[in-house]
A = this chain, B = another copy of it.
Amino acid sequence: MRQGISRYAEVADLLKGEVHRGVWAPGTAIPSESDLAKTFSVALGTMRKALDVLVEQGIVERIQGKGTYVRGPLVGSSMLRFFRFEGKSPTSKVLSVVRIAADPAISKALNVEVSAPVLEIKRIRSLEAPYLSETIYLDAIRFIGLETVDWTDSELLYPIYQQFCGQVVNRAVDTVSFGWMNAEDANNLLQQEGAAAVIVRRVAYAMNGDVLEVRLTKGNALEFNYSVTIN
């Protein structure tokens, strides 16, 4: 008997556990609010408040008149939000997908053993000109079959992770810093070596909190532009 915990928070935790255990597949609807209220033996209002918690945590999504759905993978070309580009259509080109052994840094970031097999994906994203150079690291054990995927016309990676490997990205943390382009970055982005670069390090998480992907994205620092509102 947990004390000091409200009924709705308790119900929220239980329901969250069921979602993480995969009781309902991402994209599918969970039972209706009134059904859930009966199952958990709480009033409708309490059940709704529990669902509010899951909605705020991005676990689940409400659609009026239809139902409450387990959220699928992250969408949106969200890397673009850091840069000055406007309404142009982005394209992606995968340069290489290779299997390497995790060095200590990657091992720690991906939470795998040192020397464990890791997939390294390199790609370039372009608007009119190339603007982002990306290197992506994945645990090869989780992403079996990814090496044989046809990457043509694959603008977004997360739907591919889900479709071919059943891995759903639910949350990501982007950490932005400043540095300089190495020869490879500069070549990819048609810049001079040593040009000013923004470096975005992304760690993407599954619904249960496991690290799924570590990504390093570099772009021209002079194109960087990002707004935050504080209250």
Residues of A within 8 A of B (CB): 57-58, 74, 78, 170-179, 196, 198, 221-222, 224-231
Contact = CB atoms under 8 A, between A and B. Distances in A.
Work out how many copies of this chain go into the complex: 2
A173 B226 CA distance: 10
Which of A74, A78, A177, A222 is most buried by chain B, counting CB atoms within 10 A of its CB? A177
B222 A176 contact: no
The majority secondary structure among interface residues of chain A is strand
B224 A178 contact: yes
B224 A177 contact: yes
Contacts of A231: 57-58, 74, 170-171
Given A171-B231, A176-B227, 5 more contacts: A170-B231, A173-B228, A175-B227, A178-B221, A196-B196
B178 A196 contact: yes
Contacts of A221: 178, 196, 221
A94 to B, nearest CB: 23
Contact of A174 (B174, B178, B230): B230
28 contacts: A58-B231, A74-B230, A74-B231, A78-B230, A170-B231, A171-B229, A171-B231, A172-B229, A172-B230, A173-B227, A173-B228, A173-B230, A174-B228, A174-B229, A174-B230, A175-B225, A175-B226, A176-B224, A176-B226, A176-B227, A176-B228, A177-B224, A177-B225, A177-B226, A178-B221, A178-B224, A179-B222, A196-B221
